Every structure is written in C-alpha cells, then in structure tokens.
C-alpha cells in the first residue's frame, strides 16, 4: 500500500520514530512506550489524537515492508516536514533509538540516512545525540 495522500507533520514525526524502531526488525517494548510517551508529551503533538498512534505506526510499517519502503518513508518525512521540525524529527528518532539502552548498527545507519535526507547538520546531530544519551542515562 503506497502512501499517495499527503501526511501531516505529526504523522511524519511518528514515521521517523517508527522507522528507527523498526530498523533492526525488533520494535522493543521500550521503544514503543517511548514513542507513546513522546506523542503524549511534546507540544508539537498537541492536536494529535493519541488514538490514531497505532494506525499511523501500522501504516508506516506497511510502507516499510514494501520494496523501496525505507526510501519511500524517508522521502515522505523529508517532503512533509517544514524546516523548523527537521531537527525535531531527528531528535525524536534518536530518543527512540536510545530508549532501550542499546544503539544497534542498523539504527545508526538509519539515523544517518534520516540525517542526510532531512538534512540535519552534523554538529546539530551530534548535539541532539549527546542530549539523548544524557536523558536516557542509567545508574
């Protein structure tokens, strides 16, 4: 099922999070809880109906399962988001990637693809990554 209708910026942000969560073929409970918490807490999702989170995540997963699905989702995200939300997209994706305490090679690769597609400057990306690492640190 190819995505042909436009998506909202909120949906594009959710796609960014699902993209990272699904990148290693294992969407962990911690990652899914993290996505839910982000959607519930960030001001950018203020008008988003939380009941739509699961259907939106499923639609992203369906696109990712298609041939060239990764490229399609990356393009949807980049084409939808205004410039002011591109760093936000990268930040929420990084938060999901580190939510389970492990940053896998697949996640790093997809984060790199996302960073280039949006584009997010390398120094800005490093600052976002450092902030996420600090927020998710454990004893």
pLDDT tens digits for range 84-105 = 999 999 999 999 998 877 788 9
CB pairs under 8 A, 24+ apart, for 120-129? 120/86, 120/87, 120/90, 124/87, 124/90, 125/90, 128/87, 128/90, 128/91, 128/94, 129/94
What is the pLDDT, as a whole number, of residue 28?
74
What is the pLDDT, as a whole number, of residue 88?
97
Residue 83 lies in a domain: yes
What is the pLDDT, as a whole number, of residue 120?
97
CATH, residue 104: 1.10.3680
Residue 109 lies in a domain: yes
Residue 1 lies in a domain: no
What is the pLDDT, as a whole number, of residue 5?
55
The greatest distance separating any two alpha carbons of the chain, rounded to the nearest whole angstrom, comes to 46
Buried b vs exposed e over 85-113: b needs ≥16 C-beta within 10 Å?
bbbbbbbbbbbbbbbbeebeeebeebbee
- What residue numbers bound the domain in which 53 lies? 9-135
Q: How many domains does the chain have?
A: 1
């Amino acid at each position: 099922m190819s995505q042909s209708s436009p998506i909202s910026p909120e949906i594009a942000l959710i796609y960014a999070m699902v993209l990272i969560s699904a990148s290693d073929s294992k969407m962990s409970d911690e990652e899914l809880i993290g996505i839910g918490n982000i959607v519930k807490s960030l001001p950018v999702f203020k008008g988003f109906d939380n009941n739509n989170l699961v259907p939106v995540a499923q639609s992203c997963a369906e696109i990712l399962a298609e041939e060239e699905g990764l490229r399609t989702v990356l393009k949807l995200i980049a084409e939808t988001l205004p410039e002011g939300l591109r760093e936000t997209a990268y930040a929420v994706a990084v938060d999901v990637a580190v939510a389970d305490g492990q940053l896998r090679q697949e996640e790093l690769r997809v984060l790199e693809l996302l960073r280039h597609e949006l584009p997010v400057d390398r120094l800005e990306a490093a600052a976002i990554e450092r902030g996420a690492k600090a927020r998710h640190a454990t004893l």
